[in-house]
Amino acid sequence: MRLIEQIWFNDPKINKHTAIAIKLLLLPFSLLFWLLSAIRRKSYQLGLLKSIKLDAPVIVVGNISVGGNGKTPMVLWLIEQCRLLGLTAGVISRGYGGKAKHYPLVVDNNTTPAQAGDEAVMIYQRTGVAVAVGSDRIASAQQLISKGCDIIISDDGLQHYRLARELELVIVDGKRGFGNGILMPAGPLREGLWRLKTVDHLIINGEHKSQQISSLAKKNSRLITMKLATNDVVNIVSGERLNLSVFFRQHPCVNAIAGIGSPQRFFDTLLANKFNLNKQQAFVDHYAYQTQDFSGFSAIIPLLMTEKDAVKCQQFAKDNWWYVPVDTNFDDEQIMPLLRQIIKISSENK
């Protein structure tokens, strides 16, 4: 998978001829993917397949490419905004990486990442809102509505057309952009760039140098820039929270792991905060950690990880293991149209 991602995102370390050969090999499958997805999408447009409208408004936070783009921080921000507006938000998720005995599974204090997936458990632990996982997003949402949720946030699911929605938000990784711009599996796209014209807001995660994104920014008044802020570290065992700068003064040298869509983003964040990385190791997204995965790390030097990684390490974490929570920041002027839409769809449903 690592090689394929390097080809998707035009990694200069990959031999040019090798990349071209693999892309040519995969292009027929991308054509088949396009054909099947186009037939499915057209079936919904013609009414051959039905989208189901729920008794509560739905906000979909998704993307058109695979990998980590920053959806979960956006979901966390939306939860907080809904809370400030007096709304009871519920979150539905595919629960990737989890395997439960039954679905929909509503997350509680005893639910493990092995059952519900790391993102669902992390969202529940961070916010305390109702979270339901399962491949049938309609059933998951209805379960939450029956429990009193009056607005549903879908973590991913942009291509889940069976679920009618009031608001679509697409998150784009500003650093990686859209890669080679080709549909899967020759490229990282789930849908073509045309899909961006149909969504309510396009949210760019971080600074970008992509010509594709620059072109979109010139033409799209619905584009919003999102910045991720890291202010604290939290001890996995004790729950102690320290300001990041205070922690740095005590521990300028750390170890680091990341099992997210773009691990280098986490390592770059630590480097930007002046940490010296004694050892860093990237794992695949949603990796199921085991104790032996950490045998090569010094027991003396603190280990930093993402919040999503931490929920899978709680059972065997050491006293000097910490996670770095991420908060989302927006320019006030840019974000106001989105906030007005949230207020509008919530008031219309009352």
pLDDT averaged per 10 residues in sequence order, the chain, 350 residues = 82 88 96 97 96 97 90 96 96 94 96 96 98 97 97 96 96 90 95 92 84 68 88 97 97 97 92 97 94 94 98 96 95 89 87
Cα(22)–Cα(20) distance, integer angstroms:
6
DSSP helix/strand/coil, 340: helix
**Other Cβ atoms within 10 Å of 195 Cβ, number:** 18
**Other Cβ atoms within 10 Å of 270 Cβ, number:** 20
Long-range contacts of range 339-342, CB-CB < 8 Å, 24 or more positions apart?
A: 339/81, 341/167, 341/200, 342/59, 342/78, 342/81, 342/82, 342/85, 342/167
Tell the residue number behind the tokens 């802020």, with chain if given.
Answer: 229
Cα(212)–Cα(191) distance, integer angstroms:
15
Q: Give the pLDDT score at 13.
A: 85
Radius of gyration of the chain, Cα coordinates, nearest whole angstrom? 20
Q: Give the pLDDT score at 138.
A: 97
Q: Give the pLDDT score at 213.
A: 74
Q: Give the pLDDT score at 206.
A: 87
Within 107-196, strands assigned E span 130-133, 151-155, 167-173
Find the helix packing angle between 71-84 and 332-348, rounded to 10°. 60
Nearest CA among 347, 50, 7 for reference residue 184: 7
Q: Give the pLDDT score at 247.
A: 98
Q: Give the pLDDT score at 44.
A: 97
Question: What does the chain come to in residues?
Answer: 350
Q: Give the pLDDT score at 220.
A: 64
Cα(165)–Cα(277) distance, integer angstroms:
43
- Per-residue tokens: 13: 């370390």
Q: Give the pLDDT score at 212.
A: 72
Q: Give the pLDDT score at 164.
A: 97
Q: What is the pTM of this model?
A: 0.95
pLDDT tens, residue by residue, 44-103? 999 999 999 999 999 999 999 987 789 999 999 999 999 999 999 999 999 988 999 999
Nearest CA among 11, 61, 21 for reference residue 262: 11
Q: Give the pLDDT score at 340.
A: 92
Q: What is the DSSP letter of 201?
A: E
Tell the residue number behind the tokens 């679905």, with chain if given.
Answer: 103
Q: Give the pLDDT score at 1.
A: 58
